[in-house]
Structure 1
């Protein structure tokens, strides 16, 4: 296990790693320090050729309450606020633009930038009693950066209700609107997340890398451009040894032996 102050990296097996926000006294707040260390942790795992899937979770009572409001209130100057929000955006982009699939494993509350972190991950699973919110409006600070990630997972009317009221939503509703994939009892969550991670880890890492990049890029394109782009990316994927091996294995009814494990 590697340790970057309040951010821990734990190897769950040879190809799955967990990043743990370990600052329960602040409800795993996304402070300047924690944001910087999270970026370092994600970069480190993204560059590790053995790691195929990354899980992110929080310690203590819940996932993350978002920014540390004590820290925010003490910043005072415009450039310091800008630095904080830029760093938070950098973390979210690192997750989306990284090569490895990232799974959020959520318990307790995921509020504001914590909810943004969940939405930025490729997949998200929670406990049955987890709650999610973009509550900035309650303290006079609209959740503008969190809404970038959440509004790309949730439709506009439902997103605006969360933003305008600041009211938390429960796990079953979060699943209904597409913020999380599924929710489980506390005793089952870990095994269910690991099951998904192991399934993904069994695939070709090159194929997953190409697919993740293509997915997010095409989302931002008009339809015609998206088809032209994805046709090029499928051609690139098809030219790789793993696609040839995968098709051969399927036709021969055997298990594929990936070159890019």
Structure 2
């Protein structure tokens, strides 16, 4: 069968929640150049899709994502320009997730390793089945997980990140929750119920407010304390001029449900 963008990634929509599923279980949903290009195109389209309020990122089969396609990398051993382009493309996709003006929830069933673990860490939220496992095992094959390290080290403490990176050992879902890599761990049988209940809760909010909040969250992280407060004070003052902020405050005081205009 000829590989197409549609065969690499499935997209489904339900009441404001769009699910993006890596759909190559036979390749362990690896992040080949083709997969990364398709994922980038999908994310770009969702950024401006008014019907998408929350994105759920999933993987088909028993592996969420095994990272880069090592067979593809081996075929390109003598092409440094391809290798650089691959890691730059992957880095750009991870930043697309961070900068997407919609919350992104990773639905993790199975294994997430190397760049697959990076994918989980790049999402705003992550819910994992209790059978899920995580690792940054590049050190085991002589290729340190340097780009996955960027997302990992921004989600867990330095020592926890370094332990994963230096040992390459697999950690359980419960350990991933302990160190802050995922938000929740649930029985696999209720994974979808938990993910989509969370997604619908968020989707019920003003999409305009969510966009403002997500952007501000990531921007203030790297600022000095005083600069972060100056920046977020302005964000809140500007946010207060929005229709939805004024509607939400009035609805709260009037003890009624707000009617969002998403502006």
Same fold, TM exceeding 0.5? yes
In the alignment, structure 1 residue 103 sits paired with structure 2 residue 105: yes
Deviation at 1:220, TM superposition (A): 1.1
CA distance in 2, matches of 1:3, 1:156: 37
1:182-218 Cα deviation digits (max 9, x unpaired): 1111110001000000000000000000000000000
Equivalent residue number for residue 53 of structure 2: 52
CA distance in 2, matches of 1:73, 1:83: 15
Which of 204, 223, 232 matches 1:230?
Answer: 232
Equivalent residue number for residue 117 of structure 2: 115
In the alignment, structure 1 residue 69 sits paired with structure 2 residue 59: no
Q: Which runs of 5+ in 1 are unaligned?
A: none
Equivalent residue number for residue 177 of structure 1: 179
The within-5 A match list for 1:78-227 is: 78-227=80-229
1:69-101 Cα deviation digits (max 9, x unpaired): 000111121111000000000100000011000
Equivalent residue number for residue 14 of structure 1: 15
Equivalent residue number for residue 261 of structure 2: 259
Q: Secondary structure at the match of 2:147?
A: helix
Residues 109, 131 of structure 1: 8 Å contact kept: yes
Deviation at 1:245, TM superposition (A): 0.4
1:159-200 Cα deviation digits (max 9, x unpaired): 101000000110001001000001111110001000000000
1:19-51 Cα deviation digits (max 9, x unpaired): 010001110000000000001111111111011
In the alignment, structure 1 residue 37 sits paired with structure 2 residue 38: yes
CA distance in 1, matches of 2:123, 2:212: 17
CA distance in 1, matches of 2:179, 2:149: 14
Q: Secondary structure at the match of 2:255?
A: coil
Residues 43, 96 of structure 2: 8 Å contact kept: yes
Residues 3, 9 of structure 1: 8 Å contact kept: no
Residues 246, 256 of structure 1: 8 Å contact kept: yes
Residues 143, 163 of structure 1: 8 Å contact kept: yes
Deviation at 1:3, TM superposition (A): 5.8
Which of 227, 235, 250 matches 1:248?
Answer: 250
CA distance in 2, matches of 1:35, 1:66: 11
Count matched residues: 259
Residues 7, 24 of structure 2: 8 Å contact kept: no
Equivalent residue number for residue 27 of structure 1: 28
Q: TM-score, normalised by structure 2?
A: 0.97
Deviation at 1:5, TM superposition (A): 3.2
CA distance in 1, matches of 2:5, 2:19: 12
